[in-house]
Amino acid sequence: MTIIDEQPVRFDAFEPAQRANPYPSFGRVREATAACPLLLGDVPVTVFTRYEECAQILTSPHWGHGYQAGISPFRDQGALIPGSFVRMDPPDHTRFRGLVTKAFSPRTVASLFALVDRVVTDLLDAALVRERIDVIADLAVPLALRMIGGRVLGVPEQDWPLLRQWELAIARGTDPDELLPADAIVERGTAARAAAGYFHGLVAQRRAEPAEDLLSDLLMVEEQGDRLTEPELVGICMLLLVAGMETSINLIGNGVLALLQHPEQLALLRSRPELMPAALDEMLRYDLPTQFTIRVALTDTTVAGRRFRRGDGVVVVMAAAGRDGAVYPEPDRFDITRFHGPHPARRHLGFSLGVHYCIGAPLARLEAAIAIGSLLERAPGLALAGSELTYLPSLIHRGLVALPVTAG
Ligand code: HEM
C-alpha cells in the first residue's frame, strides 16, 4: 500500500510485525491524520482510523457500496452474487435483510442456548482428556461448524470438512481484490463455485424435505408475497458461511488469547462470570475479528473536512477506532469492566454500525460466552503453551491459525 499525500506514516499491512500486532501503526495513522489517502493497488482510497469518522461513515446514508449503481472503484468481489446483501445498498439490501432477519429472530437465537451448551460440553469432554489442547481446532472451529454448518445451514456432518475448506478460501478472499495475490483469487473462485453448487443441491433438498435448520426457515419466509428465489437463497448461504464462521472462530481465539495475556482480567472473569457480556464487548473492541470494511460515497459528501465525490472509496478501520483514546480512556489496556455498569464505554464498532450491523451478533455472543465461560470453568490451570503465535494470512479477518494451551 502506498500513501499518496502527506505521507504521515509508513503502513505496510503485510509486514510480519504488522500482522502480529497492527495496533501501533493504526495508532500512528490515527494520530497523524483524520483521513489518510493511499493507493490500494491502483485504486486511490482514503483510510479512516478515528472513531468519530468511522462511526459517521458507517451510519450515513451518503455511504454504501455502489456496486448496483456501477460506481464502486473496488474490483468486484462477488459483490453482485444474488442474495449476498452485505455489499448491497438500500432498497435491495433492505429487502434481503428484512427477509433474513425474520429467520434470525432473538427468540430463535435464545432457543439455541441448550444446543450450544451441549456442543461445548461434548467438545471439552473430548479435548480435556489431554493436558494440551488447541482452542482453535478443538473448540472454536468445531463449534462454528456445528452451529453455522449444522444448525444454520443444515449441512450434514460428513460434509463439514468441505465446508471448512471452502470457508477458509472464501474468507481469505474477502480482502479487497487489490490486495490479494493471484493464487488467493483463484482459490476463492474455485471454493465459491464448489460451495454454490453444493448449496444449490441443499436448497432443493430442503424444499422437498424441510429440516430443523435456518435454511428451512428461510425457505418459508415470505413477506407481502415476497419470497427468496433459489439463486438468492444460495447467495445467502454463501454469505452466512463466510460472515458467520471465520468471525465467530476468531472472537473465541482472540478473546481467550487476550485473557491469557492479562491474567488479572482472567482471574476477575473467573470470579465474576456475570462480567462475560462486558468482557465480550471488550474483546470486540481490543482485538477485532473483522478489522476493517470498505464503503463508497453514494453522493458528493464531506467527512473530517474532506470533500468526497460520488464513487470515491474509503476504508473504515474499526480495529483502529476501537483504540481511539478520544473515546476510550487508556485504549491499549484490556479491561473487561469497560462496558459494564451504569456508565459503559461507548458502543464499539466490532459488529459495525448502521444498516449493515451484524445480523449474527446475538448468535456470535451466545457461542463465545458459553465456549469461553466453560473453558475457564473446566480448565483451572489454563495457560499459553508456547510463545509463537501465527495469524491467518488475511487482513480483514484477524485470527490465529492455532492457540495451543495447557488446560491444567
Ligand atoms: C464475532 C463474530 C462476528 C463478527 C465480529 C461479525 C462482524 C460483522 C461486521 C463487522 C459486519 C458488517 C460489515 C460491514 O459493515 O461492512 C457484519 C455483517 C454481517 N454479519 Fe457478522 N460478525 C460475526 C458473526 C456473525 C454470525 C455468527 C453471522 C451469521 C450466522 C453473521 C452474519 C452477518 C451478516 C449476514 C452480515 C451482513 C449484514 C448486512 O449487510 O446487513 N455474523 N458482521
**Ranges of each domain in the chain:** 68-74+81-289+339-406
Query: Atom 41 in ligand 1: which residue has the minimum CA distance?
Result: 356
Q: What is the pLDDT of residue 4?
A: 46
Query: Atom 3 in ligand 1: which residue has the minimum CA distance?
Result: 247
Q: Is the CB of 293 under 6 A from ligand 1?
A: yes
Tell me the best of 63, 248, 358 to mutate to test the pocket of ligand 1, counting ligand atoms within 8 Å of each CB and taking the most: 358
Based on the residue annotation, tell me whether 367 is a catalytic residue of this protein: yes
Q: What is the pLDDT of residue 105?
A: 82
Q: Cα of 398 to ligand 1 centre, how many Å?
A: 14
**Positive or negative torsion for Cα 91, 95, 96, 102:** positive
Atom of ligand 1 minimally distant from the CA of 58: 15
**Sequence-separated (6 or more) residues with CB below 8 Å from residue 298:** 61, 62, 63, 64, 66, 69, 71, 89, 310
Atom of ligand 1 minimally distant from the CA of 239: 35
Rounded CA separation 179/18 (Å): 15
**Range from 80-84, 200-204, 291-295, 395-399 carrying the lowest mean pLDDT:** 80-84
In contact, 251 and 372? CB cutoff 8 Å: no
Based on the residue annotation, tell me whether 246 is a catalytic residue of this protein: yes
Atom of ligand 1 minimally distant from the CA of 353: 15
**Range from 216-220, 222-226, 231-235, 290-294 carrying the lowest mean pLDDT:** 222-226
Q: What is the pTM of this model?
A: 0.95
Q: Is the CB of 253 under 6 A from ligand 1?
A: no
Residues 200-215, mean pLDDT to the nearest whole number: 92
Residues 292-299, mean pLDDT to the nearest whole number: 97
Q: What is the pLDDT of residue 228?
A: 87
Rounded CA separation 153/240 (Å): 8
Residues 316-324, mean pLDDT to the nearest whole number: 98
For the chain, how big is the Rg over CA atoms in Å? 21
Residues 64-69, mean pLDDT to the nearest whole number: 94
Q: Cα of 408 to ligand 1 centre, how many Å?
A: 34
Residues 74-103, mean pLDDT to the nearest whole number: 85
Based on the residue annotation, tell me whether 243 is a catalytic residue of this protein: yes
68 vs 356, higher pLDDT: 356
Residues 34-60, mean pLDDT to the nearest whole number: 93
Rounded CA separation 295/297 (Å): 7
pLDDT tens track for 120-154: 999 999 999 999 999 999 999 999 999 999 999 99
Q: What is the pLDDT of residue 42?
A: 82
Is the domain covering 68-74+81-289+339-406 a CATH 1.10.8.60 domain?
Answer: no
Angle at 289 between CA 284 and CA 293, to 5 degrees: 100
Q: What is the pLDDT of residue 11?
A: 57
**Range from 25-34, 129-138, 288-297 carrying the lowest mean pLDDT:** 25-34
Q: Is the CB of 251 under 6 A from ligand 1?
A: yes
Q: Cα of 6 to ligand 1 centre, how many Å?
A: 34
Residues 289-294, mean pLDDT to the nearest whole number: 96
Query: Closest Cα partner for 32 from 59, 46, 50?
Result: 50
What nine digits make up the cell of 397?
Answer: 479477518
Q: What's the pLDDT band for 20 if we cut at 50, 70, 90?
A: confident
Q: What are phi and psi of 405, to 5 degrees?
A: -135, 155
Is residue 186's pLDDT more than 50? yes
pLDDT tens track for 378-398: 999 999 998 889 999 889 999
Query: Atom 21 in ligand 1: which residue has the minimum CA distance?
Result: 358
Mean pLDDT of the chain: 92
Q: What is the pLDDT of residue 39?
A: 87
Q: What is the DSSP string of 29-50?
A: HHHH-SSEEEEETTEEEEEE-S
Q: Cα of 4 to ligand 1 centre, how many Å?
A: 31
Q: What's the pLDDT band for 8 if we cut at 50, 70, 90?
A: very low
- With 0-12 / 13-18 / 19 or more C-beta atoms within 10 angstroms meaning exposed / middle / buried, residue 394 is buried
Q: Is the CB of 247 under 6 A from ligand 1?
A: yes
75 vs 381, higher pLDDT: 381
Provide, rounded to the nearest whole percent, the portion of the chain with pLDDT above 70.
Answer: 94
Q: Cα of 364 to ligand 1 centre, how many Å?
A: 9
In contact, 364 and 248? CB cutoff 8 Å: yes
**Positive or negative torsion for Cα 250, 146, 192, 96:** negative
Q: Cα of 242 to ligand 1 centre, how many Å?
A: 9
pLDDT tens track for 98-118: 988 877 888 888 899 999 999
Is residue 225's pLDDT more than 60? yes
Q: What is the pLDDT of residue 2?
A: 45
Is residue 215's pLDDT more than 70? yes
Is residue 85's pLDDT more than 60? yes
Q: Which residue has the cell 444454520?
A: 152
Rounded CA separation 335/286 (Å): 9
Parallel, antiparallel or unpaired: strands 293-297 and 63-64? antiparallel
Q: Which residue has the cell 451478533?
A: 361
Q: Is the CB of 283 under 6 A from ligand 1?
A: no
Tell me the best of 68, 153, 233, 247 to mutate to test the pocket of ligand 1, counting ligand atoms within 8 Å of each CB and taking the most: 247
Q: What is the pLDDT of residue 179?
A: 82
The conformation of residue 326, written as its DSSP 8-state character, comes to T
The conformation of residue 213, written as its DSSP 8-state character, comes to S
**Sequence-separated (6 or more) residues with CB below 8 Å from residue 276:** 269, 369, 372, 373
Rounded CA separation 394/291 (Å): 10
Is residue 10's pLDDT more than 60? no
Q: What is the pLDDT of residue 80?
A: 65
Is residue 88's pLDDT more than 50? yes
277 vs 220, higher pLDDT: 277
Query: Closest Cα partner for 364 from 290, 262, 266?
Result: 290
